[in-house]
Copies of this chain bind each other. A is one copy, B any other.
Amino acid sequence: MTIRYPNGKKYEPTQHPIARKKTNLSFSNRGKALEDELNESNEYYLSRSIAVIHKKPVPVQIVHVKYPARSAAVITEAYFRSPSTTDFNGIWRGKYIDFEAKETTSRTSFPLNNIHEHQVEHMKKVTELDGIAFLIIKFTALERYFIVPYEYFEEKWDRKIAGGRKSMTLTEIEDMSIEIQAGFNPRLDYLAALEQHLQSPIKERIERQENE
């Protein structure tokens, strides 16, 4: 999806994600990156005034910038930085929403080393302050998407820290998450799935099942 400017001259610095919308159109969504799917869903939510949720820019440490005469500044040396927060945040129904989106090619589990420790700390703090923090995990080979609420993820993270397994199994995720149904518009109605969880939290559901 990257738009390339061979000579670097015609770059339009006021261009922002919305302006690139058209290039995201395709007849099939198969194999589309999770990030693009979520950006599309967020544009849908924004256009309908349902939610204002954006992906944060990739954090970059800029070392050198050139200012050629009569054209846009060019960054000629920069490095990727490790993110200190999650990728997406915003507001929905007056509530603060915060999540990290990750894909895995595994068919059986999600490796926890996909998530940085300071991202976990960030989600913990957000939860303590009454925000809604979660992961969205895509199993690309299965074309399945899950919302894993932070409270549940935390258990599995703590298990890893305590020396236990370094991943969450698909079965564990199926048990303790909400599956998102992929559709056309919005592509991933993850807020509908989240609403389901808020109305009837997974843990309560499981407890009810155990008592029956």
Contacts and interface: CB of A to CB of B under 8 A. Distances in A.
Given A59-B57, A63-B2, A78-B60, A17 B84 contact: yes
Interface in A16-69: 16-18, 46, 49, 51-52, 54, 56-63
A76 interface: yes
Contact of A79 (B11, B56, B131): B11
Nearest to A126: B52
Interface in A129-157: 129-131
Interface in A63-109: 63, 72-85, 89-96, 98
Contact of A13 (B8, B52, B77, B82): B82
A78 B57 CA distance: 13
A131 B52 contact: yes
A15 B76 CA distance: 20
A8 B96 contact: no
B129 A94 contact: yes
A70 to B, nearest CB: 15
A166 B97 CA distance: 35
Contacts of A203: none
A14 interface: yes
B79 A78 contact: no
Given A90-B96, A94-B95, 7 more contacts: A13-B82, A15-B81, A56-B56, A58-B62, A74-B77, A93-B130, A94-B130
Interface of A: 2-5, 8, 11, 13-18, 46, 49, 51-52, 54, 56-63, 72-85, 89-96, 98, 118, 122, 125-126, 128-131
